[in-house]
Amino acid sequence: MSGAASVLERWLAPIPREPFAHLPTPIEPMSRLSEAVGGGARLHAKRDDYAGFATGGNKARQIEFYFGEALAEGCDTVVITGAVQSNFVRCTAAAAARLGMRCHIQLEDRVAGKGDEYHGGGNVLLDKLFGATLSTFPVGEDEGAADTRLEEIADELRSEGRKPYVIHLSPGYKPLSALGYVRAMGETLDQADAAGMNISNIVLCSGSAATHAGTLVGLRLAGSNIPVIGSCVRRTADLQAPRVAQVIGLLQDLLGCGDVVDTAEIDCRDNWFAGGYGKLDDSTREALEMAGRLEGIPVDPTYTAKSMAAMIGLGRAGAFEADTDVLWIHTGGLPGLFAYWRDIYPDVVKF
């Protein structure tokens, strides 16, 4: 290990981690997409959908620090909440299965009007295959209430003699998931250096804020000033930017690194938000098709199609400097794609 990765590992070494992700994930050029978008910048994908574990994605990196702490505390059960098609709970269920732990998942119905393929396919199918116990929570947009119910479930498990580890949803808790992207930036910067890349911008999804915050803190700790653009997938930019700032503050406190990120650097864009979490518009559909037909890259409507749409839109608008490299982080989400087929191609069964 050398370069940026070595620098960041020194900050992360005291924090327990249980490895799951298949690393390093590659950086691939998207030459045909670059040509179609125009503007002269070279577009690349950091393929964290290739992170391997439980179909990959950014959550494979993020759960490592949660399970590191859970094992250090001797826990035998993990309790987590998330949307019906949550990638986070899917990876958590798989990790618990690998470690011989029980997993209780609370699913929040955040997207109205979905049918059986949404509530039973995609990530939900995998949750069941990985052996998780599923329960539902009727409110989709109340993180505090969802966390309160998690604690009630944990108390019920304790009464049964279990030792649960709770992964909360609200941003005020220890941001262990963000550490996954602090660590990822060491890997990414060393890869870019070895390839002679000149990264002018990083584009990613901004939802829970863990990936966004971890990326910014990791870059700055490694001495990089690359700007990071977060495409909003859960809430509008005026609400998302303070959330990212809150997670960055907690993360800096956790690492004891001081204030390495200026809040003025937090860049959240909601031009491609498409009206809400899990909703699609023309830009989402265009991104799905351009990624698929030009690069053979599957993206999902909830997360990665929206960050792909942001990169396409910004590139067309001339926001990226010509003859530089723009890095889009593919945060995964493939299973959820299959739960949205009626929204993408409603006539697919009629081919």
pLDDT value of residue 215: 98
Our answer to whether residue 135 is catalytic in this structure is no
Res 53: pLDDT: 96
Mean pLDDT of the chain: 96
Torsion on CA atoms 182, 216, 219, 181, rounded to nearest 10: 20
Strands 42-47 and 27-29: antiparallel
**CA–CA dist 305, 336 (Å, integer):** 12
**86, 206, 283, 307: which one is catalytic?**
86
pLDDT attached to residue 1: 56
- The H or E element spanning position 267 is strand 267-269
What distance separates the 2 farthest-apart alpha carbons in the chain? 61
The confidence score (pLDDT) of residue 2 equals: 65
pLDDT for 139: 79
Low pLDDT (below 50) residues in the chain: none
Indicate the helix (H) or strand (E) that contains 315: helix 304-316
Which domains, from first to last, does the chain contain? 3-57+175-350 (3.40.50.1100), 59-167 (3.40.50.1100)
* Predicted local distance difference test score (pLDDT) of residue 138: 85
